[in-house]
Amino acid sequence: MNDFALIGPILAAMFAAATPLLFAALGELVVEKSGVLNLGVEGMMLVGAVCGFAVTIQTGSAVTGFLVAALAGAATASLFAVLTLFLLANQVATGLALTLFGVGLSALIGQGFVGIPLEGLPKLYIPGLTDLPVVGQALFGQDIMVYLAVAAVPLVHLFLYRTRAGLVLRAVGENHTAAHALGYKVLRIRFLAVLFGGAMAGLGGAFLSMDYTPMWAENMTSGRGWIALALVVFATWKPVRAMLGAWLFGGVTILQLHVQGLGIDVPSQLLSMLPYLATVLVLVLISRDVARIRLNAPACLGKLFHPDA
């Protein structure tokens, strides 16, 4: 009975652990749909995390903190956009450099905030629903950012597949030369997509520092940006699949925290490796279905474009 009672808190923790991954993965999904490959998600998450935390500490407003985190992520992404879209720098190398830049910049900004506690966001409570056994706390007892991350999934799907702007963005990702010939501003579209991806990564990072573990610590994303990148491929560039993948990796993350509590004798080092081992395993399994990846991957992903070429 006691084990059964643990299911609800474990599910709730799983959804919370998946939230930063979902924010970052949805943002990167839109970026890659436009034909741009930005490997700097980890760096943008860290910059968003430290900026959101610092502003919240200074102002006392979590709303302001999340807004600044989104702006900080977008500003960091704009560096990548300028270098790759207008100066035609290599996207892979620039993305890796952006991650290193984000790690260093966040450590510099966060020097005076290490170890300062912050009160997390209030949890939703609906009488009669939050108290339901098993699913009550998981579905009706989360904070607003968890629900916003889930709500972003259908919004991104509707944008990509039910709006003209989404159709144009996908067209740019599939054939930027043809889109340019039709009169679409390829560089502007991709620039805006990269900014959106940076803003979403910033929100994911801010969720970590302001709610999931409400304090700032250097490199606190711990590789979540790389997992988010893997999620996009795992989801074959589909928003709903990205959500399911985020929940899967969130469950693996929570599993490492509960296995030893259940009395299972497993080395803690092995448990800490689980999310990353799962990432490698999933990528290996996906890579076996080359046809599906080629079918869903944007044809111009990672390819440079110059309007005068």
Q: Please give the average per-residue pLDDT across 228-243, as a whole number.
A: 92
Specify the pLDDT at position 262. 63
Question: Which tokens hold the place of 90?
Answer: 């290599």
Quick: pLDDT tens for 259-303: 666 666 677 677 677 777 877 787 777 766 666 666 678 999 999
Q: Is the pTM of this model over 0.85?
A: yes
Specify the pLDDT at position 256. 72
Specify the pLDDT at position 15. 94
Third-level CATH fold of 2-296? ABC transporter involved in vitamin B12 uptake, BtuC (1.10.3470)
Name the H helices within the chain: 2-5, 7-33, 41-59, 62-81, 91-109, 136-140, 144-162, 164-174, 176-181, 186-207, 224-234, 239-258, 268-287, 290-296
Of 5, 9, 47, the closest CA to residue 218 belongs to: 47
Quick: pLDDT tens for 138-159: 888 899 999 999 999 999 999 9
Quick: pLDDT tens for 217-233: 999 998 999 999 999 98
Q: For residues 29 and 39, what is the distance between their CA atoms, to the nearest angstrom? A: 12
Q: Please give the average per-residue pLDDT across 68-88, as a whole number.
A: 97
Taking the domains of the chain in order of start, what are their residue ranges?
2-296
End-to-end CA distance of the chain: 68
Share of the chain above pLDDT 70, in %: 91
